[in-house]
Amino acid sequence: MTKPRLAFPLWGLAIVAMVAAVAAMTTVQRDFAAPAPMAKPGSLSPQQWPPLRDRFMTADGRIVDDANNNISHSEGQGYGLLLAVLAQDRAAFARIWGFTKRELLLRDDGLAVWRWDPGASPHVVDVNNASDGDILIAYALALAGESWNSPELRTAAQDLATAIGRILVKRAGDRTVLMPAAKGFAASERPDGPVVNLSYWIFEALPVLAQLAPEADWAALADSGRELVLAAGFGPARLPANWISLHSAAPAPALGFDRLFGYDAIRIPLYLVRAGLVDRPLLEPFARLGGATPDAPAVVNLADGRVTNALVDPGYRMIAATVACALDRKPIPASLRTPAPTNYYPSTLHLLALATIAQNYPECL
């Protein structure tokens, strides 16, 4: 499977309580190296979210991937839920969650099916899941449950987090890793398995999931994600592949996938910055994002370092600008500060990056 591409008190006290709870857990033996600055409801302005919402959300709460035959997927639903919380749009959140619960939460293990196709009958033809979508949905539910004091949303978040921890957080050698899906990527299923996708590590969500489902070792998962970001720099560009084999001691690009730093992996630096993981050795390999200049991201062939496709959409350029801000406090270019929707995926990343800057690096604006 590939893709294109708990009750809490007031918000400020809840952040302190959540981080403290993570640090105190007896089932997790290591602290997170850097506590994630939790996504803050209200970090998207009233002007930023509605254009994307109105462009990509249907009346019944389906987020449409317009560059992929108008399908929907758990990733898109998770992004939509998270953006709705950040914008404090409770009505949109309810619609997106309603579609997600009704149309994707169909598996008997508590995870969401990953793909919903409006042109297929039935609409779900692949019941496998995608762990990034599951994490985004659980994280957004937790934030919404806290922000709006909803026991129903808190319970749904906890149920999904428990399923993620039980089914998708696994040991692979001396690492704790996130399986991309329940099926298809394990050592028993692939000659180069296990295979992982580093862009599925949504670092900011892991401390929240740790409180929701402490049976899994989320701190070890965060550790392995950071270690793999450093270890999986391939070819002249020293960038990670979208899909990585952990079959041998040293990570390698996975078999059967293009050896590319591409549309999946471009999210990795955004997730690092959003989680406050901005140590220069960790983030600096992404300073150029494969392009000739810092503001020109690209898809890169990792075998020879050749640029195969320039990523000129403002959403991709916003990721490069976010890295430059986090590393060196470079101002966000004026042309990127007022996003206009283009396609679902880069437009979504654009809003997540702007929310990050507004919350944690306002000096860059």
List active site positions: 75, 132
Q: Are 248 and 255 in contact (CB under 8 A)?
A: no
DSSP three-state, residue 176: strand
Of 81, 63, 83, the C-alpha closest to 72 is 63
Task: Please report the DSSP string for 24-80 in residue order.
Answer: H-SS--S--SS------TT-S-TTTHHHHHHHHB-TTSPBPBTTTTTBEEHHHHHHH
d(CA 16, CA 35): 11
**Strands (DSSP E) found in 74-225:** 115-116, 169-172, 175-178, 195-196
Which tokens belong to 108?
A: 């008997």
The alpha carbon dihedral of 77, 352, 301, 297 has a sign of positive
Alpha carbons within 13 angstroms on the beta-carbon side of residue 259 total: 17
d(CA 262, CA 324): 19
